[in-house]
């Protein structure tokens, strides 16, 4: 059952007069989907609204911190680095997957309540925290490590700049799951490997030092593998690292065909 709890509803986006010289601040309201697996009232899911005072460069993560520290300590979300590196705070903000620490409030229409929900397609544990295990299970399956044979070399494995450039884009992944959890194919049953696993397979398949490409291509040739991708591009739009996710998937598909699958 869904209910709206009107906590401190105020005019979102209202500009306020600060002290002379201070950075202008404004009120912003966040409408947050809450899930409490142990609710005593039988209402496991509610929408809660909170209004906070924000400044021009505040991000959604800053607003979430203010709510947690000043209004409701039970609000639950993940974050670690707060600088777009660890990948732990992907969430749906105004219906789009984004990192809360990379999303400025002023860029998501603070004149209206900003909706914040957990990413889709993964089981919700509490509020904005989802169980990432199914996501990481797919990641582990594609063997995200260098596979080599023979004796260890006595010096580094040499690679030309052109060879390194071949997979540069897919090295940028921070495993935030924004792509996989924005993919309609993944939403249908959660069985599809998902774009993040394919991106990380791509990173090794096209690495000239790696010898496990054939194994990875066989794994992704599975009925839940790359062929389930319908080229929807949601993943590319969602990626906070700007990775050309759909292009990487297409390259893996082509590698399968040219390597005689």
CB of 195 to ligand SF4, least distance (A): 6
Give the one entry of ligand FES, ligand SF4, ligand F3S, none that residue 69 binds, where binding means its C-beta sits below a cut-off of 5 to 8 angstroms depending on kind: none
Binding interface with ligand F3S (CB under 6 A): 183, 185, 195, 229-235, 245-246, 249
Q: Which residue, 22, 34, 24, is CA-closest to 64?
A: 34
DSSP string, 56-122: TT-BHHHHHHHIIIII-TT-----SSSSSSS---EEEETTEEEEGGG-BGGGS-TTSPEEEEPPSSS
- The residue (of 113 and 240) whose beta carbon lies closer to ligand SF4 is 240
Cα–Cα distance list, 66 to 71, 127, 149, 163 (Å): 7, 16, 52, 46
Interface with ligand SF4 by CB under 6 A: which residues? 87, 173-179, 195-196, 199, 238-239, 241, 243, 245
Tell me whether residue 86 or residue 125 sits nearer to ligand FES (CB atom).
Answer: 86
Report what 178 binds from ligand FES, ligand SF4, ligand F3S, none; CB cut-off 5-8 Å by kind: ligand SF4
Q: 28 - beta bridge partners?
A: 52
In the complex with ligand F3S, which residue's Cβ is closer, 26 or 186? 186
Q: Tell me how far, at minimum, the Cβ of 241 lies from ligand SF4, in Å.
A: 4
Residue 232, SS3?
coil
Alpha-carbon distance of 59 to 241, in angstroms, equals 17
User: CB of 201: closest distance to ligand F3S in angstroms?
Assistant: 13
* Distance in angstroms (rounded) separating the CA atoms of residues 237 and 244: 9
Q: Compare residues 9 and 96 and give the one whose CB is closer to ligand F3S.
A: 96
SS3 assignment, position 240: coil
**Shortest spacing between CB 80 and ligand FES, in angstroms:** 5
Q: Indicate which of ligand F3S, ligand SF4, ligand FES, none lies near residue 173 (CB less than 5 to 8 Å, by partner kind).
A: ligand SF4
The pairing of beta strand 25-35 with beta strand 114-117: parallel
**Measured from the CB of residue 107, what is the shortest distance to ligand FES in angstroms?**
15
Closest CB to ligand F3S among 112 and 230? Answer: 230
Measured CA to CA, the distance from residue 205 to residue 94 in angstroms comes to 36
């Amino acid at each position: 059952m869904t209910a709206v709890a009107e906590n401190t509803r105020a005019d979102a986006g209202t500009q306020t007069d600060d002290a002379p010289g201070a950075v202008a601040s404004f009120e912003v309201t966040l409408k947050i989907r809450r899930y409490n697996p142990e609710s005593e009232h039988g209402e496991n899911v509610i929408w809660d609204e909170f209004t906070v005072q924000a400044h021009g460069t505040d991000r959604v993560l800053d607003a979430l911190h203010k709510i947690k520290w000043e209004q409701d300590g039970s609000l639950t979300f993940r974050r670690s680095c707060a600088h777009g590196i660890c990948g732990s705070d992907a969430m749906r903000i105004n219906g789009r997957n984004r990192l809360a620490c990379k999303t400025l409030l002023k860029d998501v229409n603070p004149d209206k309540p900003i909706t914040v929900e957990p990413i889709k397609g993964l089981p919700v544990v509490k509020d904005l925290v989802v169980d990432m295990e199914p996501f990481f299970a797919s990641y582990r399956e594609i063997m995200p490590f260098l596979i080599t044979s023979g004796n260890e070399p006595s010096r580094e494995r040499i690679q030309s700049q052109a060879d390194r450039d071949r997979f540069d884009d897919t090295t940028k992944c921070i495993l935030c799951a924004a792509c996989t959890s924005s993919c309609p194919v993944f939403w249908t049953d959660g069985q599809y490997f998902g774009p993040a696993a394919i991106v990380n397979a791509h990173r090794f398949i096209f690495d000239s030092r790696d010898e496990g490409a054939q194994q990875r291509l066989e794994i992704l040739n599975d009925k839940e593998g790359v062929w389930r991708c319908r080229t929807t591009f949601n993943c590319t739009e969602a990626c906070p690292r700007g990775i050309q996710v759909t292009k990487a998937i297409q390259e893996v598909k082509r590698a399968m065909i040219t390597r005689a699958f």
